[in-house]
Amino acid sequence: MVGRRKKIARYFLWSLGGLVLVLGLAAGTIYLYQDKIIQLFVAEANKHIKTKVAVEKIEVSLWEKFPQVAITLQNVEITEALKGSTAPLAKLKNIHSTFSLWDFLWGEYRIREIYLEEGEVRVKVLPNGEVNYRFYQSADTSQTDKLSFDLQGITLRKVRVLYEDAPAKQHYDVQAHLMNAALTMQEPVVTIQLKGNARVNTILIAGDEYLQQKEITLGSQIALDTERNHVTLASSELRVGKGQYQFAGTIDYAHETQLDLNLEGKNTDIQSLVALLPRHVTKAFAQYQSEGDVYFKGTVKGETSAQKNPFIQVSFGCRGASFFHPEYKEKLEQVSFAGSFTNGTQRNSQSSTVALRNIKGQLRGKPLSGEFVYKNFKDPDVQAQLKADLDVAHVFGLFPVKDVKNGSGRALVNFAFAGNLRAFKANPSGPSIKTSGEVQLQNVSLQFRQHPLPFKGMQGTFQVRKNDVAISGLKGKIGDTDFLVNGFLKNMLGYLFLDKQRLRVEADFSTRYLNLDQLLAASTTAPPVKRPSGKVDAYGYALNMPANLELDINAAVSSLKFRRFRAKQLQGNVLLKNQVISSPNIAMQVVGGRFQVKGSVDARQPLIKINSTAHIQDIKVDSLFYAFENFGQAFITQRHLHGTLTAQINSELFFDHNLNARPGLMQAEIATTLRNGQLLNWAPMQKMSIFINRNELANLRFSEIKNNFYIQNRTIYIPEMEIKSSTSRFNNITLSGMHTFDQQMDYKLKIPLSGATKAKRDKDERFGIIATTTTASPNLFLTIKGKEGNFKVAYDQERVKTKIAADLKTEKQELKELFQGKKKEEKKTVKPATEYFDF
């Protein structure tokens, strides 16, 4: 037994050694004869190749394509077969031409296979029909030739093939990973067994793109009759992704190319189906995937040339399938439809039609149905119908919208559209456009990405009338704000589906409570806003008017809130056009009185401009100061000033689009009347206690103040005015001055001191600043200067000097008249004329 094993081992070693020896001898012999083989190969190739071929190196190897002997050409460039052209037809790293080892032993070499590796081949058909690939020509070969071509196979490995046919308007870009063509010759028929895999970068036919960036596997048998110029395809299969397509038929190119091909899909899904159709038709569905039975069958028949296209008829559809987007969990289930595509009687894009009929499916168990027909790809006519009971959350999960974060609720949709898209773009309301339908919302909520507050609990009906939509009973909430809307959305379909279209809203809007703090919030990421009071708001504000939106709104608001401001029974008409909001009249009840305003808000520029005329009637001034947060200052607040205000305000204000004021540009004229007023514990008055008893200044009452205030250059100008006090000692106080937005003050006061015995004589008289008149009624002249928290009350020396000089002049005249014996006239009491600031 052991001896037998030794014999077997000895035989194996001898056999292996013999094989190594034979191969070594063969390799050595090939090396010795490689120059002769190369000379024979070059000589034979030169007989057949009629263009320039540049080769960096040629060598013969037994090991490159063992067991075949390979003649290897390295870094090859073949010039295209066009007169005068130097452009390459092919650039390849390696070309291997192989023959068998027995051919070498017999001394006659027949090239049976060619391998093209790692490079690029560019095939062209020029507009005049000339081609660049006819570089090979037949040649007479005598029987005594030592080397000949007897091709039985061509293999492409990592070769990019580009085909450009200008007359047919076709472009192919394919990367062959590994593609093999086995050739069988039975004159005059050449049979080609084609097998391999490749990546289709793109296929462009008449401007339509197919199979972009798709991996394919091809297996085909082609019979080429060189006498009849006829190709027969049999038992052919193309795989695109998971989809499998079988095709067969004939191609006749004796004259103009005639096609008669049949194509049928098996194990197909929406991805493989979409891959076979033009990109512009399917790009909206390219990311969707399917499960279930999806079928496909088509024919291509007729002449294909620069002047004609073949007739194409495709039928497709599905039964009990489901469709979904891979990034989302929602599915469209139990889907069935019958689809078709044809390029029509004219066999071009104008007569082409895609139709989806008898569409049925379910969204979370709720049914939908419809039809879709798309005719004439060049000037499309569209017919669409949809009837569905939709779960809003499911719809946005299956068909996401970038501006909508999420939604919920139910929508009953019944919609139909028919018309030409070009006519619709030119005039969405044209007579050729037929649109109808209705959408009912039931407890629908929507959360938009650019606003922190969702629309909640929306109920109502939208009725589509041609290009317009009628709103009936739409109600819901946005934050704390409830709303009820009835009206029309003019040009709604054009606004939704076309660019640069205007939307006009004509509606009646009513709400029980309007919270502008929430509605004007810019976004969830907006920076917080610090109020003058020091409190920080949760949201920033934004006022941005769309350029293509028009409004005509009749508003009725029971209660309104904006920061501290409160209003009731607001009514008015609001208009928006070309980013300008205007109103002929808005009226409301505010802090115990009535407020009316008319004006405009112009949002077309980087700064928002507000022009307005406002009327205020019988408003509590302390409540007004509180509502407007003391107008951003602390010098005089709602704690200091009481009374009833009536005023007319003409103003021009400027804000940025986050509603931050630009006070330097503000201008206003304010005509005011303040009645039954009180000035309580006002700091400047308290500082006058060195002149007047503090208790008398703590509660200064007055019956009426009238004046016109002016605002310009960040300064409030106060012309001289009389404060008619009910206090017996200060019956007429005169005030004038200015107050800047930086809280710099410069006020002038004149206080009459009747009943001088009640004044603090030791402090006043010793400085000699009490100015007395001929009627013995002294006046106290004071100034208030400085900032809110750091101001000074001082004697107004200039006004005192002016007053004394005027009194001396008067007394001098009276003495002169007395010495002249004139009788002194009784002096009439004349109310001083109010001196207004020269603005």
> Residues 436-478: pLDDT tens digits?
999 999 999 999 887 788 999 999 999 998 889 999 999 999 9
Residue 90 has pLDDT above 60, yes or no: yes
Residue 363's pLDDT band (cuts 50, 70, 90): confident
Residue 524 has pLDDT above 50, yes or no: no
Phi and psi at 667, nearest 5°, equal -135, 140
pLDDT averaged over every residue in the chain: 79
Length of the chain measured in residues: 839
Average pLDDT score over residue span 281-308: 79
Whether residue 684 is preceded by a cis peptide bond, meaning omega within 30 degrees of 0, is no
Place of tokens 């022009």: 611
Q: How far is CA 543 from the centre of its chain?
A: 19
Place of tokens 């700064």: 607
Average pLDDT score over residue span 113-133: 87
* pLDDT tens digits along 17-74: 555 555 555 555 555 556 777 777 777 777 777 788 888 988 887 767 777 778 888 9
The pLDDT of residue 660 is 82
Q: How many CB atoms lie within 10 A of CB 374?
A: 18
Phi and psi at 544, nearest 5°, equal -125, 120
Place of tokens 């077969």: 81
Output the six-digit token pair for 416. Answer: 């139909």
The percent helix, strand, coil of the chain (3-state, each to 5) is 20, 55, 25
Name which residue leads in pLDDT, 764 or 195.
195
**Distance of alpha carbon 104 from alpha carbon 826, whole angstroms:** 152
Residue 538's pLDDT band (cuts 50, 70, 90): very low
Q: What whole-number percentage of the chain has pLDDT above 70?
A: 75
Residue 643's pLDDT band (cuts 50, 70, 90): confident
Output the six-digit token pair for 536. Answer: 């920080």
The pLDDT of residue 675 is 84
CB 463 within 8 A of CB 472: yes
The pLDDT of residue 446 is 92
Residue 149's pLDDT band (cuts 50, 70, 90): low
Name which residue leads in pLDDT, 292 or 586.
586
The pLDDT of residue 2 is 58
Residue 388 has pLDDT above 90, yes or no: yes
The pLDDT of residue 506 is 95
Residue 5 has pLDDT above 50, yes or no: yes
Between the alpha carbon of residue 299 and those of residues 154, 603, 787, the distances in Å are: 30, 59, 91
Residue 511's pLDDT band (cuts 50, 70, 90): very high
Average pLDDT score over residue span 690-705: 69
Between the alpha carbon of residue 163 and those of residues 123, 160, 170, 242, 670, the distances in Å are: 5, 10, 8, 26, 80
240-249 in b/e form (b: 16+ CB < 10 A) is beebbbebbb
Residue 839 has pLDDT above 60, yes or no: no
Average pLDDT score over residue span 744-758: 69
Name which residue leads in pLDDT, 629 or 577.
577
Q: How many CA atoms lie within 13 A of 103 on its CB side?
A: 20
**Distance of alpha carbon 302 from alpha carbon 466, whole angstroms:** 42
CB 429 within 8 A of CB 491: yes
The pLDDT of residue 523 is 46
What type of residue is 623?
Answer: S
The pLDDT of residue 757 is 39
Residue 721 has pLDDT above 50, yes or no: yes
The pLDDT of residue 366 is 87
Q: List helix spans (H) across 577-630.
A: 621-627
User: In this predicted structure, which of 215-219, 307-311, 487-491, 527-531 has the lowest mean pLDDT?
Assistant: 527-531
Residue 836 has pLDDT above 80, yes or no: no
Average pLDDT score over residue span 482-509: 90
Between the alpha carbon of residue 474 and those of residues 387, 509, 510, 655, the distances in Å are: 21, 10, 11, 33
pTM over 0.85, yes/no: no
| Structural element, H or E, at residue 234 | strand 230-240
User: In this predicted structure, which of 94-108, 396-410, 474-488, 595-609 has the lowest mean pLDDT?
Assistant: 94-108
> First-to-last CA distance in the chain?
132
780 three-state secondary structure = strand
275 burial class (0-12, 13-18, 19+ CB within 10 angstroms)?
A: buried
Residue 819 has pLDDT above 70, yes or no: no
Q: How many CB atoms lie within 10 A of CB 656?
A: 14
* pLDDT tens digits along 543-571: 777 888 999 999 999 999 888 888 899 99
Name which residue leads in pLDDT, 76 or 5.
76
Name which residue leads in pLDDT, 633 or 384.
384
The pLDDT of residue 572 is 93
Average pLDDT score over residue span 5-23: 57
CB 357 within 8 A of CB 383: no
The pLDDT of residue 773 is 47
Residues 6+ apart with CB under 8 A from 374: 281, 353, 354, 355, 380, 381, 382
User: In this predicted structure, which of 147-156, 446-455, 509-518 has the lowest mean pLDDT?
Assistant: 147-156
The radius of gyration computed from the CA coordinates of the chain, to the nearest angstrom, equals 48
Place of tokens 């001394």: 107
Q: How many CB atoms lie within 10 A of CB 766?
A: 8
The pLDDT of residue 565 is 83
Nearest to 72 by CA among 63, 82, 61, 86: 61
Nearest to 271 by CA among 250, 297, 299, 243: 243
User: In this predicted structure, which of 181-190, 492-501, 597-606, 756-765 has the lowest mean pLDDT?
Assistant: 756-765
The pLDDT of residue 649 is 86
Place of tokens 């939307």: 503
